[in-house]
Homo-oligomer: A and B are copies of this chain.
Amino acid sequence: MGLLGGSVARSIRRTVPGVHVVGVVRCAEKGQRWIELGIIDSVAESIEQGCQDVDVVVVATPVDLVAASVIRAAEVSQADCLITDVGSTKRTIVQAVLRDAGASAKFVAAHPIAGSEKTGAEHATADLFVGKVIVLTPSEQTPKRQLDLADHFWRRTGGRIVTLSPEDHDTHLASVSHVPHLASSAVAKLINQDSANLVGSGWLDITRVAAGDPAMWLAICQENRTAIDEQLAHLAGSIEDLRAWIRTHDDASLLRWLKEAKTIRDSF
């Protein structure tokens, strides 16, 4: 029950009348607070306790814990239960779940492209997913019925469904999310005591996501090493180009490059 899990709960409670949301939390006191805040209806302190009589399980842990939680939820849940997740990487999760036939029959991997540098269910909002892309990455083993259920479920959050293979998802996300995040952190680390009072709104925007949860981003890097390394190589190549152009006064190349970047950004 963090920002994403809480926001799924809030958005489903808003759009599905009469739904009962069980929060699986490790800390009972926090669970009470989520109930008081209207995020969930009741609390369970384990997957076993929380997932037995439910129609849908949403695993919203850091990515390195998703597969094990999916498999455990599959063991204890009803035969027709849909299990989905919110993880920012998909390939290793889908591969790990595929090794368990029971879990594969219930699981549809999902990644809502929504979030915040803020963490914790107290920042959860019912409209976090409205208009956002939600990527579903079924495997070849995913039953059609489960995929339809996942599509139906995630649409209720207000998101737009896009379906990709787990591999394509991870490659694309490395280029538009994982490596941009690392670049943001690297920019933050260029600062020193003397320059800290000279930051403007550009720096604040570029570095905003660097305030994200380090453990969560470490797990993302662990799960998507190859694609991240490849995109980091592209980024390093750009920086080498820039340095060469600046040192050799190749202003034409530098201007063309800046214009290309502007054209890309202007298209959003």
Contact = CB atoms under 8 A, between A and B. Distances in A.
A191 B264 contact: yes
Contacts of A233: 243
Nearest to A168: B194
A264 B257 CA distance: 30
Interface residues of A, number: 87
Interface in A155-191: 162, 168, 171-173, 175-177, 179-191
A210 interface: yes
Contacts of A3: none
Contacts of A195: 171-173, 175-176
Contacts of A210: 261-262, 264-265
Interface of A: 113-117, 132-133, 135, 162, 168, 171-173, 175-177, 179-192, 194-215, 217-218, 221-222, 225, 228-229, 231-236, 238-240, 242-243, 246-247, 249, 251, 254-255, 257-262, 264-268
